[in-house]
């Protein structure tokens, strides 16, 4: 009888190796294309040492570092070109790992030619530019304001529904990334990101404890037992989240939302004996929205314990994945991987409690 945990992402024998399987075969492919015309320009072959990182605390979540040989350095047009990364396996199966655009390039000059040291990011770099016309989101559905903010950009995005309205406006010159971050808080979404599928994603905040995990690190032999580091901010972590606003629909009614951690949590008000609060003043219009944002902030920021650990490269990780580890659900805040088979993938996981 199988004792494997139910997960959202199905078991893959290529990545979830059985205990008696000690090795696998895979590689990475880097496809070059023109980001303006969409023309495919063939593959490039970086010098060994390429890395890919994903950090949910940044506006631009992903960074790709590619050291390039002479031929690839000469062939690339950093202004227009994009690089799509894939992880192919024998038999033809190929996992995507996103699309990237050049943001920095330096060249080392040798007698044989120029060697490129390039840095790329996901296409949030394209999005996160200063707006050239003001955006008035006041009293509009917040999903509509997101659509207004992204209108005309050459990107695709998915947007989970939100019933809230906006109470904000932004003037010319405001960075679009900061607008989206503000809308994400007001709409009760996690910070948006460009995923493995090259699309931008907005998903509603959730408690990892109430989700079926995407991946199970307790089964099999995924985690390398060296370099596992646990940390927590238990002594300073807030136990009460308060959201206030002066932009109420009814000016005579204050807008306040409060979320507290459950009494059973070790840093709760009853257990600590006092309140450790985090108060945010936002432009929102009603108490229901304030309460939802307070709960969302608790889910996003109430760091109870973190762990960093190492696995083999796994292209199924995207953003805000829920990972089963040592019997608990953890939210993945970031990862980095060496883009070479035989390299490692480092993960940063956070365990938190649901805000009541």
Is the distance from CB of 345 to CB of 318 less than 8 angstroms?
no
Report percent pLDDT > 70 for the chain.
90
Please report which confidence band the pLDDT of residue 3 belongs to, taking 50, 70 and 90 as the band edges: low
pLDDT, tens digit (0-9, with 9 covering 90-100), for 244-266: 887 666 666 778 888 887 787 77
**How does DSSP classify residue 298?**
H
Q: Yes or no: say if 157 and 170 are a contact pair by the CB < 8 Å rule.
A: no
CA dist., res. 192 & res. 202, Å (int): 5
Distances (CA, A) of 212 to 22, 154, 265, 324, 356: 28, 34, 21, 9, 19
| pLDDT tens digits, one per residue of 125-178 | 999 999 999 999 988 999 999 999 999 999 999 999 999 999 889 999 999 999
Q: pTM for the whole thing?
A: 0.83
Rounded Cα gap, residues 268 and 239, in angstroms: 5
CB-side neighbour CA atoms (13 Å) of 283: 15
pLDDT digits (tens, 9 = 90+) for 84-115: 999 998 888 899 999 999 998 777 776 666 67
How confident is residue 20, by pLDDT bands cut at 50, 70 and 90?
low
CATH architecture under which domain 128-202 falls = 3-Layer(bab) Sandwich (3.55)
Q: Which two tokens stand for residue 283?
A: 């432009």
Topology of 29-126+207-230+306-351 in CATH?
Answer: Phage tail proteins - horseshoe like beta roll fold (2.30.300)
Contacts 24+ apart (CB under 8 A), 41-47: 41/75, 41/81, 44/68, 44/72, 44/75, 44/76, 44/83, 45/69, 45/72, 46/72, 46/339, 47/115
> What is the C-alpha to C-alpha distance for residues 277 and 259, in angstroms, rounded to an integer?
10
Q: Mean pLDDT score of the chain, rounded to an integer?
A: 87
For the chain, the structural domain boundaries read 29-126+207-230+306-351, 128-202, 234-301
* pLDDT at position 2: 45
Which sign does the torsion angle of CA 14, 308, 342, 29 carry?
A: positive
């Amino acid at each position: 009888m199988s004792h494997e945990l139910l997960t959202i992402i199905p078991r893959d024998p290529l990545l979830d190796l059985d205990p008696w399987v000690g090795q696998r075969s895979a590689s990475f492919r880097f496809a070059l294309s023109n980001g303006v015309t969409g023309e495919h320009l063939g593959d490039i072959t970086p010098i060994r040492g390429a890395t890919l990182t994903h950090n949910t605390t940044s506006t631009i979540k992903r960074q790709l570092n590619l050291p390039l040989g002479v031929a690839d350095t000469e062939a690339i047009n950093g202004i227009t070109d994009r690089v799509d990364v894939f992880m192919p396996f024998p038999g033809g199966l190929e996992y995507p790992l996103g699309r990237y655009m050049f943001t920095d390039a330096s060249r080392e000059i040798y007698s044989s030619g120029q060697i490129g040291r390039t840095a790329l990011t996901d296409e949030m770099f394209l999005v996160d530019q200063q707006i050239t016309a003001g955006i008035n989101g006041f009293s509009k559905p917040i999903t509509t304001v997101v659509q207004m903010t992204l209108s005309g950009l050459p990107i695709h995005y998915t947007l989970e529904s939100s019933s809230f309205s906006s109470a904000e406006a932004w003037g010319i010159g405001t960075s679009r990334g900061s607008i989206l971050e503000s809308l994400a808080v007001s709409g009760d979404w996690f910070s948006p990101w460009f995923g493995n599928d090259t699309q931008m994603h907005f998903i509603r905040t959730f408690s990892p404890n109430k989700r079926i995990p995407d991946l199970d690190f307790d089964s099999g032999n995924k985690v390398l037992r060296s370099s596992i580091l646990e940390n927590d901010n238990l002594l300073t972590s807030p136990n009460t989240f308060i959201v206030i606003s002066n932009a109420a629909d009814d000016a005579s009614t204050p807008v306040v939302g409060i979320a507290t951690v459950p009494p059973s949590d070790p840093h709760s008000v009853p257990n600590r004996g006092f309140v450790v609060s985090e108060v945010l003043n936002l432009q929102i219009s009603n108490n229901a929205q304030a309460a939802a944002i307070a709960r969302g902030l608790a889910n996003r920021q109430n760091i109870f314990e973190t762990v960093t650990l190492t696995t083999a490269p796994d292209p199924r990780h995207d953003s805000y994945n829920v990972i089963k580890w040592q019997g608990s659900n953890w939210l993945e805040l970031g990862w980095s991987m060496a883009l070479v088979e035989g390299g490692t993938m480092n993960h940063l996981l956070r365990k938190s409690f649901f805000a009541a």
